[in-house]
Amino acid sequence: MTVFNRPDATHDPKVRSWLPSANLTGCAFPIQNLPFGVFRRAHGAEPFRGGVAIGDQILDLAALADANLFLSDAAQGIRAGSLPSLNSLMQLGPHIWGALRRALFEALAQGSALEGALRACLVPQEDAVFSLPAQIGDYTDFYISIYHATAIGRQFRPDNPLLPNYKWIPIGYHGRSSSIGVSGQSFPRPQGQRPGATGPTVGPSTRLDYELEVGIFIGAGNPLGAAIPLADAENHIFGLCLLNDWSARDLQGWEYQPLGPFLAKNFATTISPWVVTLQALAPFRAPFNRPQDDPQPLPYLDSKSNREAGAIDIRLEALIQTARMHARQEPPQRLSETSFRHAYWTISQLVAHHTVNGCNLRPGDLFGSGTQSGPTPAEAGSLVELSKGGSQPLQIGQDEQRSFLEDGDTVIFRGRCERPGAVTIGFGELRGCVLPALNPSREL
């Protein structure tokens, strides 16, 4: 395991920023966080560029690069982060990421001599619009919640819910990167083949769902043919975000055998705008434990350090706001809450397994964790679980029910990390909205 799981001076809970909003209780972006994103002001024709969230502001890395306040490794990181995507920063690796984090932490701390210069580089988050943090060349979606896999398997295969390979390898499939959007994404209801009484029909999905996931951005890549060992895996991970892999369950049930997801999942995936670095997550690492009766990971997926601190305790929350709730100005309703620490595989194991065959990863590649569900029914990360396959609709708001998503529904994800002795950090929000199908027809 790398040094990412070891807290250092940048996690000191006593340190406060000279920016008051970063010190407020409940702030997602205190000085101990410093996540990266890509933004521009909402009005005007400014180019997108990298920024760092602090309090209710964004530290503009392009303006910071022009100010020429930093030297050496930190300056290199700022220049790379000032571009319209974070790929160049991602490929520089953990040495530069760490130097940049330390430099920004010191410059944003109370008493910094650079306060005046950095204040000139701030942009209010409420004035910004966001782009994808990186140019995503490839997207792999995994399936690493055993609770979700068992619940879904039970609906499709009641007598054999969990296939025998699940406990031996991190299951994944190659997704579609072209339809990944940033928070605020709206998309038309997908259409495709669905099973029918006398044969398949074609039309809009009637069982549209969300999937509460964590996204993992790859930093430095690896040459084709060269596997990344487990001990080195986190040197290749830039950071984590929230991810919603929208799913059409009726299309999925018809098409998933024998090769797995296709049209049921490639129409839209939404991620949060801020990427929280592994350094920021260091205080929230947790032991990775397997039940004694389960197969233990094969040697290339196992290590003492991965067992000691391979998991990450990220609290994940899913909420819904229907069109009717929005019109009545009613707040979103929580659907479920769980933790990423329940995942059956760690992020290091995903990287090691993805490359064991020689597959080459590249900066900006994205992994999805698969739906994150916990051990209790209230911790389910999808409607298909919460509604028991649609048989038990959920009460929503004053006068609505949902088994699956309807047009106009907005789904919201939130994430945070907290523990005694550490400053709570957040991931911000992920929002996505379902629009009516384009030119819907019963038979296309």
CA atoms within 13 A on the CB side of 30: 24
The contacts found for 22-29 with CB under 8 angstroms, 24 or more apart, are 22/54, 22/55, 22/108, 23/55, 24/55, 26/424, 27/55, 27/56, 27/426, 28/53, 28/416, 28/425, 28/426, 28/427, 28/428, 29/53, 29/54, 29/55, 29/56, 29/274, 29/425, 29/426, 29/428
Among 148, 236, 342, 354, which one carries the catalytic annotation?
148
Distances, alpha carbon 255 to alpha carbons 12, 76, 195, 221, 441, in Å:
50, 47, 9, 33, 20
Query: Is the peptide bond prior to 258 cis by the omega test (within 30 degrees of 0)?
Result: yes
Question: Would you tell me how many other CB atoms lie within 10 Å of the CB of residue 40?
Answer: 22
Distance CA 233, CA 116 (A): 39
Residue with tokens 């990427």: 275
Q: Note if 236 is an active site residue.
A: no
Distance CA 50, CA 204 (A): 38
SS3 of residue 434 by DSSP: strand
Measured on CA atoms in the order 144, 150, 155, 158, is the torsion positive or negative?
Answer: positive
Q: Which tokens hold the place of 133? A: 């943090």
Residues classed as catalytic: 148
